[in-house]
């Protein structure tokens, strides 16, 4: 029995001023007319939700729509996956600061009123709430996971999604990287030397290639090798990537013209998203994968390699010494329609 191949079939992006993932490969538009959070993070479906959950919901909808799984990209009671399909869909969220605002709020309440001042109904907002809201809103009944382990967290989340597909636990996984710009988050970044940071979310749909083929979906990228180590070079080696085929490095500290595309010493194009958006924290790896899909969509790349985290014995741009992760995305041939499941 062969292991199912994991592919990316949809992407959704909500970053102020950006219209879609193609904007990740271009210089910032002079007159941005893309996502407007003051307009698009309001409405009935956004009530009683924290900022991170609102961003995640607005990224998940377009990603599911892009993958051909929803008729409408906007959240809403009527815009849910069919029950039979939803049973086999996971939600994997990567974030480091999504619930920091609520955690600080509840800590202050405890300090002033002791635990008796807390409302049990509000306590879920300090845990897996973002992934839960996405699952509830779109009717997804598979595994529900949140990763929170520094700048490598986003690539780890995509890898976890690939594993869920590989072991046939699910057919589809919605992977979301989200970081909100709230007052506690801004204070934390400033106190640790940050000058700018992301306020947005990105989602990718990771799916079994066989399942995508049966429903006629387009496979945008194959989720290939993954590496996790104390050093970036070792993590890259663990992906078993043929570096001769890599056309784009998605990594920090390789800044090109205007912080967008440049060239490393070996001539391979590089893209440092933190040079443009500032600290991306838990959203970085998922954002890198979105940029990788955009590049593969253009048809002029065979593979892209995403790298996050620190070199051995040092810290990354956010002061995180937890190690490094690397993930390979490769161009894929469309799966034949109606192909049989390999299970």
E strands present in the chain: 6-14, 89-94, 144-147, 172-179, 200-208, 221-229, 246-250, 261-263, 269-271, 303-309, 324-330
CATH architecture, domain 6-214: 3-Layer(aba) Sandwich (3.40)
DSSP H/E element including 275:
helix 273-277
- Look at residue 315 in the predicted model and tell me its pLDDT: 64
Sites in the chain below the pLDDT cut of 50: 254-265, 334-343
C-alpha span between 62 and 53 (Å, rounded): 15
- Look at residue 22 in the predicted model and tell me its pLDDT: 92
Task: Tell me if 6-214 shares its fold with 225-330.
Answer: yes
- Look at residue 337 in the predicted model and tell me its pLDDT: 44
What angle do the packed helices 100-113 and 183-191 form, to 10 degrees? 100
Q: Where are the domains of the chain?
A: 6-214, 225-330
pLDDT above 70 as % of the chain: 77
**CATH code given to domain 225-330:** 3.40.47.10
**Per-residue model confidence as pLDDT tens digits over 97-155:** 988 777 766 677 677 777 666 666 565 666 688 999 999 989 998 999 999 999 999 99
Decide if 8 contacts 329 (C-beta within 8 A). yes
HSE, side-chain direction, 13 A CA sphere, residue 267:
2
CB within 8 A of 113, min separation 6: which ones? Answer: none
- Look at residue 338 in the predicted model and tell me its pLDDT: 44
Q: Which residues of 84-117 are buried (b: 16+ CB within 10 A; e: fewer)?
A: ebbebbbbbbbbbbbbbbbebebeebeeeeeeee
């Amino acid at each position: 029995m062969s292991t199912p191949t994991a592919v990316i079939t949809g992407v959704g992006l909500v970053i102020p001023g950006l219209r879609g993932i193609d904007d990740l490969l271009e210089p910032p538009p002079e007159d941005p007319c893309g996502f407007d959070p003051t307009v698009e993070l309001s409405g009935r479906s956004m009530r009683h939700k924290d900022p991170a959950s609102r961003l995640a919901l607005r990224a998940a909808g377009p990603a599911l729509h892009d993958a051909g799984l929803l008729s409408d990209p906007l959240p809403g009671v009527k815009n849910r996956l069919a029950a039979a399909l939803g049973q086999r869909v996971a939600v994997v969220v990567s974030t480091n600061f999504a619930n920091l605002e609520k955690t600080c709020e509840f800590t202050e309440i405890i300090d002033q009123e002791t635990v008796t001042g807390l409302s049990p109904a509000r306590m879920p907002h300090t845990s897996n709430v973002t992934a839960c809201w996405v699952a509830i809103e779109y009717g997804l009944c598979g595994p529900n996971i949140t990763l929170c382990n520094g700048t490598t967290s986003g690539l780890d989340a995509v890898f976890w999604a690939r594993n869920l597909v590989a072991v046939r636990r699910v057919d589809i996984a919605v992977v979301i990287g989200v970081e909100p710009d709230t007052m506690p988050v801004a204070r934390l970044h400033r106190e640790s030397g940050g000058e700018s940071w992301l306020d947005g979310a990105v989602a990718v749909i990771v799916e079994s290639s066989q399942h995508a083929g049966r429903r006629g979906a387009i496979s945008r990228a194959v989720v290939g090798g993954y590496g996790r180590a104390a050093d970036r070079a070792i993590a890259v080696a663990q992906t078993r990537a043929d570096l001769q085929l890599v056309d784009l490095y998605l990594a920090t500290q390789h800044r090109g013209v205007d912080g967008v595309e440049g060239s490393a010493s070996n001539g391979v194009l590089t893209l440092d998203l933190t040079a443009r958006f500032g600290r991306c924290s838990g959203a970085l790896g998922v954002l890198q994968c979105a940029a990788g899909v955009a590049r593969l969509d253009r048809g002029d790349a065979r593979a892209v390699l995403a790298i996050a985290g620190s070199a051995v014995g040092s810290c990354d741009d956010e002061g995180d010494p937890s190690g490094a992760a690397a993930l390979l995305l490769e161009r894929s041939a469309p799966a034949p329609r109606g192909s049989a499941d390999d299970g």
